[in-house]
Amino acid sequence: MRQRLAELRGPDVPPQPLDARALAALAANPGCRRRALLDGAGVPKTALAQSLGSPSGFGQSQFAFMRGHAFESRVKSDGGAELLRLTHACLGGGPEPEPGSARVPDLTAAGPQGRVGRTEIALREATAAGAWTLLDHPMLTLDVAGTPAYLEPDAVVVAPDGTWTVVEIKSFPMIDGSADAAKVGAAARQSAVYVLALEEVAARMATGGSGPSGSDPSGSAARGSAAHGSAVHGPAADPSAADGSTADGPTPDESAMHGSAADGSSAHGPATHGSAADGPAPDGTVPDGPTPDGSTAHGPATHGPAADGPAPDGTVPDGPTADGSTTLGADTGGSAAHGPATHGSAADGPTPDGTVADGPTPGGVTAGGGRVGGVRQQVLLVCPKDFSNLPAASAVDVRKQRAVTRRQLSRLTRVDDIAATLPPGLTFDVNRPADELSAAVDAVPATYAPECLAACELAFHCRERARARGELTSLGRALRADLGSLATVEETLAAARGEAGDPDDPAVSALRRAGALRAEALAGGVR
């Protein structure tokens, strides 16, 4: 299979490894076989789009890149003392860390597999030591459609109580305790991928596993990525997003946050998910009602469009909550960390009746306090405070993003199954002529939607093809869902004119009624 993927990529083309940004985009559109295959084979989609004549609009200024790395270096200076202080202020986890007392293990190893093994050893040792530990750029792995993806979060903090917290460092500002909704949502979905990978590590540790297959903790026998070679992405090797963030890039979702700033102050606001201070009711439901600060809280089932059910392609879009507000970050006092339970099946989201069920975690133990198997379901987002370069932090609950990402990744068709349907000799070598490349790309079905423009390098090419075929998805998933069995613009117009379609179909009936009203209005205007 590795040889087949190398042939698809091209013999002289270096592989493009998967990262958390790519995984978040892939999970947002699991029905797109084209992206799944190209990502699995490590095809550089930016170069492919240029070869096709439809270059992507992605890019980043050198200034933003340098600013992001400078801010990350400041946050982690002095052995991560300030970062650990912010973690304790937002999430607790044990006694307040003393400056200079934190452990910062060396995670250096040969190749990504060696780094994965070294990271797991460091996590095991840090948990057993019961002391504040900072893992700087650890390496995690996650199986995606049968292909290993190597992920590099900005940091993972292990607290004395044994909890693991993903840290996401971004360079967009947090002004008066709030940050841009789209960028915060992006960081939440990206961090949810890291949480899933950490939970797999916790599960292996709980069952006595020694690490992912083929990993060598010492790094002496590391052979590189099974599908992508030894190249690794992360903040140190992958340019940050256009907003200057140092990790894998922005996505739209949650906004207003409360965090403790570098000067020790903290911003308070409405609680995030349910009455965090009171916790779930005895039956497992999360009651609605005022939180201790007077705001109204809502249980997990009311968060945004997820409360209305998944979209036609199975995705659960991000957006405003049922009360019209944007999802909020966890309370700085750490109360959100002990809010609605996320044990066992709660990790997969609320049950159909809106309750959050208790159950065993992947590691085989029952988790409490907003974590699964020792992995917190709240991540720490660190941004510059106001217009300064001082760090401020907020705990962001990623339970919804984690549940959606886990479900969507499980729906992906395996890369080898997609490759088996392709004709022999087909390749996506970016050095081939444009006509040949276009035919190869079109041989793999794609599922285009306008949201792809913000997440995929091939979006312009796919949009052009979707418009040429008259696909309704090019106008938006919501419109496609409303029109039911009608799949193209031509079919829709014919149904509106009464030339096609089943009259008993509600969508066809509504279109014909709309067409009649339009004709009547136009006729009245002429008179």
Q: In percent, how much of the chain has pLDDT > 90?
A: 35
Stronger pLDDT, 75 or 282, i.e. the higher one = 75
Predicted TM-score of the model (pTM):
0.62
The DSSP secondary structure of 339-407, one letter per residue, reads SS---GGGGG---TTS-----B-TTSSB--SSEETTEESEEEEEEEBTTSS-EEEEEEE-HHHHHHHHH
Mean pLDDT of 324-344: 36
Mean pLDDT of 411-424: 84
The half-sphere exposure of 140 on its side-chain side, counting CA atoms within 13 A, is: 28
With a cut of 90, say whether residue 153 has pLDDT above it.
yes
* DSSP summary character for residue 97: P
CA dist list (Å): 14 to 78, 132, 432? 37, 39, 15
The DSSP secondary structure of 313-326, one letter per residue, reads TS-------TTSPP
pLDDT band at residue 105 under the 50/70/90 scheme: very high
CA distance 142 to 161: 25
Continuous segment of H or E residues that includes residue 165: strand 164-169
With a cut of 80, say whether residue 424 has pLDDT above it.
yes
pLDDT, tens digit, 9 for 90 and up, residues 154-165? 999 999 999 999
- Does domain 62-207+371-402 fall into CATH 3.40.50? no
CA distance 235 to 67: 12
Q: Would you say 415 and 37 are in contact if contact means Cβ atoms under 8 Å apart?
A: yes
What would the two tokens of residue 117 be?
Answer: 């093994």
Looking at this protein, which amino acid is placed at residue 456? C
With a cut of 50, say whether residue 259 has pLDDT above it.
no
Largest Cα separation within the chain, whole Å, is 86
**CATH 3.90.320 domain position(s) in the chain:** 62-207+371-402
Q: Which of 20-34, 274-288, 458-472 has the lowest mean pLDDT?
A: 274-288
